[in-house]
């Protein structure tokens, strides 16, 4: 059975590649900003928005292609407020300054669809507490990371130098990377996509 990842995310592709999962990648073409604006206007919180985006991505490809389609999304929640990816390094510095010394949540959702219908879903939430890092540390970190800091909503890669930002992390590592993996692998084994 064909397995398709409805995502442009390099981190999500790396998670599946690392786990040895064969798949195709396709861009879902979902306007995330429109979806977020609609849901925020309706009073939805960051976790619900992550789930809705994952579902829309999966359904966008599943309506066009046979097989199982994985849609995934992640939102950053600081005290109930949704934050998007930073647009440039100055905005990344502002984001990291806002997060330092505080605890935030990452909501990572996965929805798998077949024939235009969701058939499996999960939502994992990780709780991350950032150290109260110095301005000098932030400057050095952003100089090292450069544009990589713009690839995630928190402006960090836990699999890279971003690990040094944190004092405490509670939650699944793969979920923090943006793809709750273990439950997904179990589902794929049950569908016969992966060997049991």
Q: What is the pLDDT of residues 37-94, one digit of tens each?
A: 999 999 999 999 999 999 999 999 999 999 999 999 999 999 999 998 999 999 999 9
Share of the chain above pLDDT 90, in %: 91
**Section 165-178 average pLDDT:** 95
List the catalytic residue out of 31, 33, 73, 135: 73
Residue 132 a catalytic site member: no
> What's the residue count for the chain?
196
Contacts of 116 (CB under 8 A, 6+ apart): 59, 62, 63
At 45-60, the pLDDT tens digits run 999 999 999 999 999 9
Q: 4 with 65: CB under 8 angstroms?
A: yes
Confidence of residue 159 (pLDDT cuts 50, 70, 90): confident
pTM over the 0.85 mark:
yes
Question: How far is the C-alpha of 33 from the C-alpha of 35, rounded, in Å?
Answer: 5
């Amino acid at each position: 059975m064909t397995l398709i990842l409805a995502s442009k995310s390099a981190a999500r592709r790396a998670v599946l590649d690392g786990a040895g999962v064969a798949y195709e990648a396709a861009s879902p073409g979902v306007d995330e900003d429109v979806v977020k604006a609609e849901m925020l206007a309706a009073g939805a919180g960051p976790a619900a928005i992550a789930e809705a985006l994952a579902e829309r991505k999966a359904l966008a490809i599943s309506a066009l292609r046979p097989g199982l389609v994985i849609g995934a999304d992640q939102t950053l929640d600081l005290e109930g407020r949704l934050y998007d990816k930073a647009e440039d390094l100055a905005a990344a510095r502002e984001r990291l300054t806002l997060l330092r010394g505080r605890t935030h949540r990452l909501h990572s959702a996965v929805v798998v669809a077949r024939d235009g219908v969701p058939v499996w879903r999960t939502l994992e939430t990780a709780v991350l507490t950032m150290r109260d890092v110095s301005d000098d540390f932030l400057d050095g970190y952003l100089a090292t990371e450069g544009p990589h800091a713009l690839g995630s909503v928190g402006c960090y890669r836990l699999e890279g130098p971003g690990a040094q930002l944190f004092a405490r992390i509670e939650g699944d590592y793969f979920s923090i990377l943006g793809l709750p993996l273990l439950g997904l692998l179990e589902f794929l084994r049950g569908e016969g996509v992966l060997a049991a």
